[in-house]
Amino acid sequence: MHERILIIDFGSQVTQLIARRVRESGIYSEIQPFNSVTIETIREFNPKGVILSGGPASVTATDTPRAPDGLFTMGLPVLGICYGEQTMCAQLGGKVEESNHREFGRAFVNVVDDCELFHGVWKVGSKEQVWMSHGDKIDAIPDGFRAVAISDGSPFAAIANDEKKFYGLQFHPEVVHTPHGAKLIENFTHRVCGCSGDWTMQSFKDEEIKKVREQVGDGKVICGLSGGVDSSVVAVLLHEAIGEQLTCVFVDTGMMRKNEAEEVVSMFRDNYKIKLVHRDAADLFIDRLEGVSDPEKKRKIIGSTFIDVFEEEAKNIGGADFLAQGTLYPDVIESVSFTGGPSVTIKSHHNVGGLPERMNMQLVEPLRELFKDEVRILGRELGLPENFVGRHPFPGPGLAIRLPGGVTREKLEILRNADAVYLEEIKNAGLYDIIWQAFAVLLPVQTVGVMGDARTYDFVCAVRAVTSTDGMTADFYHFDMEFLAQLSNRIINEVPGINRVVYDITSKPPGTIEWE
Ligand code: XMP
């Protein structure tokens, strides 16, 4: 078994980043919510060390979350981050108090003593940039600890108990705004916990192939292939594991980008020789969407039509024992909610939920432990071409949610053409890999223009481009004006039906990435 680090989640917005940093240091890690973790679950997981995440609660209130007390007598190294540091202090006999000197955002710490976590990166006497986000402060540290870094707001910005291998950081080393944070985490996993870094994508791939073979035996598997990175990686991994036992189903919803259906089919059927059913269901989808302009209704219609079609095709191939899906780790983590109650649905996401029960299939989810960027690395490991692995995300409901106001064949055609010109320009400018996602939206608005000597009365096209790491937050991309000028010219000249182009300068939040 690989070396592992356990992260106990106290509800910080950035807990997932801790797991990513640990994995980047070559160690497998998992997150368990504080309210389900016990000494038994820790023993069962068998980690080389434990990290306590930050969180929104205050240690000073009664009844706030704690690490299981027994954790501190298991002989395991522990790193407490922010709330994690505070609860560790409170649980080991230190003192935490509310502070009127809150620290949020960029801050500086002074390194006052040597520490294993700082090895090779922070020296005594140096001033280092970090990211803080805390209201409470530690007033007294438990016996056996010493302060190794201080800041204006925290006399105990970093603390160490070398004998027990307990460390605490008041700041967040997992975010990029703490420039040496990744190194501090690597020092914890390697130098303090003694890990060697045995987790690589090559080893993950080999193990996952073995697991799939064991799970599936000689059963039949179907996999919905959309052409997106996740489902493509699942398909190729499964093909390598079980060959002919896999059938992929590509449902062309008619909402795909230009030439997409042909590219996906030729890539998988012709290059990989994967058994692939290509169902052209464009008419069915477009007919069912006729006259519908409410975004949620559109999403629901597309979702249920997709399931109907997929079910038909699954029956056509004589059914299957397993359904393969590209579920990722962020979808699996049980996130800790302090507000209680369900969170608000912003958008209904498109998936094949409900189908496995209806068809009595079990799920195969080989990407359940991975983050999006790790899926890309796995894709490369599996030999998928760069133009598939590096593709921008594309939503299940496709172009339908980029046509506010209603879907028609004519509008789909105009949008598809504008989108193709836009992506071509982005690729020509060498910006495709810098931008996380870019697409055109066709607005249900016509405006007056003049082309040649004639009056035009055509649609407005909005273009969107964002940078992001995970799609949860995003910034609009700052294009050069020359680029936008040339783009506008090309779209208006080359795409009949559009006579005006606008650029969307909204970040997320408050906007979402897609318009619907
Ligand atoms: P939003 O618009 O919510 O999008 O900011 C965040 C990311 O998710 C994609 N997206 C979807 N992906 N099915 C998907 O597979 C969906 O229904 C869906 N809706 C949005 C969106 O393109 C962006 O990358």
pLDDT by residue (tens digit) across 28-39? 999 999 999 999
Check if the beta carbon of residue 243 is closer than 8 Å to that of residue 212. no
376 CA distance to ligand 1 centroid (A)? Answer: 18
Q: Which two tokens stand for residue 233?
A: 């990686």
CB of 437 within 6 A of ligand 1: the answer is yes
> pLDDT: is 1 or 458 the higher one?
458
Q: What pLDDT, on the 0 to 100 scale, is given for residue 355? A: 77
Q: Which two tokens stand for residue 80?
A: 């407490």
How far is the C-alpha of 100 from the C-alpha of 135, rounded, in Å?
A: 8
Q: What is the pTM of this model?
A: 0.79
Q: What pLDDT, on the 0 to 100 scale, is given for residue 403? A: 98
Amino acid present at 272? Y
CB of 276 within 6 A of ligand 1: the answer is no
Q: What pLDDT, on the 0 to 100 scale, is given for residue 342? A: 47
Q: Residue 46: helix, strand or coil by DSSP?
A: coil
Report the nearest-CA residue for atom 22 of ligand 1: 395
How far is the C-alpha of 461 from the C-alpha of 488, rounded, in Å?
A: 9
Report the nearest-CA residue for atom 10 of ligand 1: 395
410 CA distance to ligand 1 centroid (A)? Answer: 24
Residues 198-202 have a mean pLDDT of: 92
From 349, 372, 435, mutation site for ligand 1 pocket: most ligand atoms within 8 A of C-beta: 349
Q: Which two tokens stand for residue 86?
A: 């505070």
Residue with tokens 């209806």: 358
Q: What pLDDT, on the 0 to 100 scale, is given for residue 341? A: 44
Residue 352 reports pLDDT greater than 70: no
Q: Which atom of ligand 1 is nearest to the CA of 437?
A: 24
SS3 of 377-411: HHHHHCCCCHHHHCCCCCCCCHHHHHCCCCCCHHH
470 CA distance to ligand 1 centroid (A)? Answer: 11
Q: What pLDDT, on the 0 to 100 scale, is given for residue 340? A: 42
CB of 397 within 6 A of ligand 1: the answer is yes
User: DSSP secondary-structure letter at 219?
Assistant: -
CB of 395 within 6 A of ligand 1: the answer is yes
Q: Which atom of ligand 1 is nearest to the CA of 515?
A: 2
Share of the chain above pLDDT 70, in %: 97
Q: Which two tokens stand for residue 147?
A: 């302060």
397 CA distance to ligand 1 centroid (A)? Answer: 9
CB of 350 within 6 A of ligand 1: the answer is yes
320 CA distance to ligand 1 centroid (A)? Answer: 28
CB of 514 within 6 A of ligand 1: the answer is yes
Report the nearest-CA residue for atom 4 of ligand 1: 513
From 226, 230, 347, mutation site for ligand 1 pocket: most ligand atoms within 8 A of C-beta: 347
CB of 512 within 6 A of ligand 1: the answer is yes
First to last CA, the chain: 44
477 CA distance to ligand 1 centroid (A)? Answer: 18
Report the nearest-CA residue for atom 19 of ligand 1: 395
**Residue 345 pLDDT class (50, 70, 90 cuts):** low
- Across the chain, mean pLDDT equals 93
> pLDDT: is 16 or 281 the higher one?
281
Amino acid present at 197? G
CB of 173 within 6 A of ligand 1: the answer is no
Check if the beta carbon of residue 238 is closer than 8 Å to that of residue 364. yes
Nearest C-alpha neighbor of 256 from the set 61, 22, 416, 120: 416
Least confident of 35-44, 56-65, 104-113, 307-316: 56-65
Residue 163 reports pLDDT greater than 80: yes
Q: What pLDDT, on the 0 to 100 scale, is given for residue 12? A: 87
Q: Which atom of ligand 1 is nearest to the CA of 346?
A: 3
514 CA distance to ligand 1 centroid (A)? Answer: 7
Which residues have a catalytic role annotated?
A: 82, 172, 174
CB of 513 within 6 A of ligand 1: the answer is yes
| Cα angle 275-279-280, degrees, rounded to a multiple of 5 | 145
Q: Which two tokens stand for residue 337?
A: 């909610």
How far is the C-alpha of 126 from the C-alpha of 207, rounded, in Å?
A: 44
From 307, 513, 516, mutation site for ligand 1 pocket: most ligand atoms within 8 A of C-beta: 513
Residue with tokens 């509310």: 98
Q: What is the pLDDT of residues 432-450, one digit of tens each?
A: 999 999 999 999 999 999 9
Q: Which atom of ligand 1 is nearest to the CA of 228?
A: 15
482 CA distance to ligand 1 centroid (A)? Answer: 29
From 375, 514, 515, mutation site for ligand 1 pocket: most ligand atoms within 8 A of C-beta: 514
> pLDDT: is 356 or 509 the higher one?
509
Sign of torsion, CA 420 423 425 430?
A: negative
Q: Which atom of ligand 1 is nearest to the CA of 348?
A: 17
Q: What are the strands, taking DSSP E only, across 206-313? A: 221-224, 246-252, 275-280
How far is the C-alpha of 84 from the C-alpha of 78, rounded, in Å?
A: 10
> pLDDT: is 21 or 62 the higher one?
21
